[in-house]
């Protein structure tokens, strides 16, 4: 959790109970100050106690406040150096000039990708890629914007010869999941990890012995509980871009990391597939006049 701690705190603080939520809010209000604060000072600023701060640290994977302070200091220093925070957290007003809105969007999305990369577990990505390469078939479940990300990932994997399909329809998802077997892979994509149309087929896939993977912003969610491997995404909501709409870029980034890892493991097959598909699609490109 040392990498990407701020993004995880940003995403999950609203879901925490009262005292823990206040600690998260105090940290997010001024991460640099929290990195310099003693545990007593943070407890006082958040209206809680040192024991609550320690409990908050453990919720996010730290053994104590010292580890959280180091992570916050590292991330705030890196963000300041890279100017990641320019425009982050600003709301887009209906009357804002479009260039201002675009600037806020660019800052937010850039930071979102940085946070996702920082917290992404490369070992877990590698294990997912190994499973996909070895699988007889891979299914990806998602609905709404997560369904679009799932469909794009399935198409990319098929393009390099991997037997992969995505399903958004609840009945199709369950029926296909029931046909999975040990060695197959099922990936569920859901921002909050609470979408029934994703949970049910992933549970069915797990019951059939398939390797289950969750792509979600919430590590304490029903989807993450169902999965053998969890890949986390960051999300920053702004005006007009809420929930899953805010998370779609980080979902695509995480899935792209899996895709690249699969392509690395199947380099010769991937290279051959690219050559064949580029050649056959060439006739559908209009020449410049």
> Residue 93 CA to chain centroid, in angstroms?
27
- Residue 6 forms part of a structural domain: yes
* C-beta of residue 128 within 8 angstroms of C-beta of residue 213: yes
pLDDT of residue 87: 47
Comparison of pLDDT for 55 and 234, the residue scoring more:
55
- pTM score, whole prediction: 0.74
- Does 267 share its domain with 191? yes
- Residue 188 forms part of a structural domain: yes
- Does 58 share its domain with 171? no
Confidence label for 82 from pLDDT (cuts 50, 70 and 90): very low
Confidence label for 86 from pLDDT (cuts 50, 70 and 90): very low
- Does 178 share its domain with 228? yes
Q: Is residue 2 pLDDT above 60, yes or no?
A: no
Q: Is residue 254 pLDDT above 50, yes or no?
A: yes
Residue range 142-156, pLDDT digits in tens = 999 899 999 999 999
Q: Is residue 89 pLDDT above 60, yes or no?
A: no
CATH of the domain at 49: 1.10.10.10
Query: What percent of the chain is predicted at pLDDT more than 70?
Result: 90
Residue range 36-51, pLDDT digits in tens = 889 999 999 999 999 9
What order of strands is seen across the sheet that includes strand 138-141? 164-167, 138-141, 185-189, 211-216, 229-232
- Residue 92 forms part of a structural domain: no
* C-beta of residue 34 within 8 angstroms of C-beta of residue 72: yes
Mean per-residue pLDDT, 181-190: 97
- Does 194 share its domain with 52? no
Listed residues 32, 58, 84: the one ending a domain: 84
- Does 153 share its domain with 228? yes
Residue 42 in 3-state DSSP? helix
Q: Is residue 132 pLDDT above 90, yes or no?
A: yes
- Residue 3 forms part of a structural domain: yes
Domain count, the chain: 2
CATH of the domain at 257: 3.40.50.10490
Domain limits for position 191:
122-276
Confidence label for 90 from pLDDT (cuts 50, 70 and 90): low
- Residue 94 forms part of a structural domain: no
- Residue 93 forms part of a structural domain: no
pLDDT of residue 7: 78
């Amino acid at each position: 959790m040392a990498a990407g701690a701020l993004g995880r705190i940003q995403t999950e603080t609203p879901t925490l109970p009262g005292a823990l939520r206040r600690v998260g809010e105090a940290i997010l209000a001024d991460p640099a100050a929290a990195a310099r604060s003693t545990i007593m000072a943070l407890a006082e600023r958040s209206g809680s106690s040192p024991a609550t701060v320690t409990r908050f640290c453990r919720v996010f994977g730290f053994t104590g406040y010292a580890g959280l302070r180091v992570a916050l200091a590292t991330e705030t220093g890196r963000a300041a150096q890279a100017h990641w925070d320019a425009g982050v957290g600003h709301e887009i007003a209906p009357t804002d000039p479009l260039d201002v809105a675009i600037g806020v969007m660019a800052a937010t999305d850039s930071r979102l990708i940085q946070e996702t990369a920082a917290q992404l577990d490369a070992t877990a990505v590698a294990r997912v890629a190994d499973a996909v390469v070895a699988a007889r078939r891979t299914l990806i479940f998602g609905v709404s914007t997560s369904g679009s990300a799932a469909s794009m990932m399935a198409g990319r994997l098929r393009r390099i010869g991997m037997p992969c399909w995505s399903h958004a329809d609840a009945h199709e998802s369950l029926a296909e999941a029931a046909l999975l077997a040990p060695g197959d892979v099922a990936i569920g994509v859901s921002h909050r990890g609470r979408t029934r149309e994703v949970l049910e087929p992933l549970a069915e896939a797990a019951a059939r012995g398939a390797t289950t993977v969750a792509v979600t912003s919430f590590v304490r969610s029903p989807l993450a509980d169902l999965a053998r491997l969890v890949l986390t995404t960051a999300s920053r909501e702004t005006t007009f871009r809420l929930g899953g709409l805010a998370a779609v870029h980080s979902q695509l980034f995480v899935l792209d990391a899996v895709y690249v890892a699969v392509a690395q493991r199947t380099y010769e097959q991937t290279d051959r597939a690219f050559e064949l598909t580029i050649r056959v699609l060439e006739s559908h490109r209009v020449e410049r006049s």
